[in-house]
Amino acid sequence: MTQRLRTKFDAATARSNHLLTPEVAREANWGFAVSHFAEIDRDSDGFVTFAEISDFMDERSPVKMPSEKQIQIIE
pLDDT of amino acid 74: 74
pLDDT of amino acid 63: 77
pLDDT at 13 over 60: yes
Q: What whole-number distance in Å separates Cα of residue 11 and Cα of residue 71?
A: 32
Per-residue confidence at 72, pLDDT binned at 50, 70, 90?
low
Residues 6+ apart with CB under 8 A from 28: 8, 11, 12
Average pLDDT, the chain: 88
Q: What whole-number distance in Å separates Cα of residue 67 and Cα of residue 60?
A: 15
Query: Selecting from 1.10.238, 1.10.1740, 3.30.70, 2.60.40, what CATH number does the domain 2-70 have?
Result: 1.10.238
Measured from the Cβ of residue 45, the count of other Cβ atoms closer than 10 Å reads 10
Can you tell me whether residue 60 is helix, strand or coil? helix
Q: What whole-number distance in Å separates Cα of residue 42 and Cα of residue 36?
A: 11
pLDDT per residue as tens digits for the range 31-59: 999 999 999 999 999 999 999 999 999 89
pLDDT of amino acid 67: 58
